[in-house]
A and B are shown apart, each in its own frame.
Chain A
Amino acid sequence: DAGVIQSPRHEVTEMGQEVTLRCKPISGHNSLFWYRQTMMRGLELLIYFNNNVPIDDSGMPEDRFSAKMPNASFSTLKIQPSEPRDSAVYFCASSLAGLAGSEGGYFGPGTRLTVT
């Protein structure tokens, strides 16, 4: 298994531009999470999906952020328009959550976003 795949690995963009981050979860996992990590705020959960349905998006900072999961093998996180304070590492993680209890989340390599 290739693990969680994220693209791009690095993104540098100018303020005001649209940014789209992509994630392919581990096959068979039914929960997908988007996190943002910065030195100041640590690891923040932005949104998570279960069986492709958004469950909790209370961590999404503003309306500029949106996320979709059109099928079990793909999710996107979009920022439009981007701002310098959005600069961070964005991680996607997937896990198998079931009646037996949660399984640990497996993180992708992250996308390092820099907004200038």
Chain B
Amino acid sequence: GENVEQHPSTLSVQEGDSAVIKCTYSDSASNYFPWYKQELGKRPQLIIDIRSNVGEKKDQRIAVTLNKTAKHFSLHITETQPEDSAVYFCAASKNTNAGKSTFGDGTTLTVKP
């Protein structure tokens, strides 16, 4: 089955700096890669996603890149703010699997004011 590895497990940055979280996946058939943000005590929320026919996608301060050849994808947050502090999960899925996503173990991001 699919295996998703996520790094780093914790990340601390200064407000205004950029943050990058990286994930690798094992199943070359995976074609959909969502990212979730989970604030303390709350549910995971989808923040951005990318499909395998696209190399990069951007939404305001967040962007995701995908390298299908290398089977890795990354989340980039620019101009970080304290409210970006949360646990971020990457995931991988394929449309032949009824939408089932395999999640990474999560990255705890702390943005220091």
- A residues sitting closer than 8 Å to B (CB atoms) are 30-31, 33, 42-43, 45, 48, 50, 55-56, 91, 95-110
B residues within 8 A CB of A110? Answer: 43
29 contacts between A and B (CB under 8 A): A31-B98, A42-B105, A42-B106, A43-B44, A45-B100, A45-B102, A45-B103, A48-B99, A48-B100, A50-B99, A55-B98, A55-B100, A97-B97, A98-B95, A101-B31, A102-B95, A102-B97, A102-B101, A103-B99, A104-B36, A104-B46, A105-B34, A105-B99, A106-B46, A107-B36, A107-B43, A107-B44, A107-B45, A109-B42
A91-B31 in contact (CB<8A) = no
CA distance A97 to B49 in the complex (A): 14
A residues within 8 A CB of B100? Answer: 31, 33, 45, 48, 55-56
Partner of A102, one of B43, B93, B103: B93
Report the minimum CB–CB distance from A17 to chain B (whole Å).
25
CA distance A52 to B100 in the complex (A): 14
CA distance A50 to B106 in the complex (A): 26
Report the minimum CB–CB distance from A33 to chain B (whole Å).
7
A residues within 8 A CB of B46? Answer: 104-106
CA distance A106 to B36 in the complex (A): 10
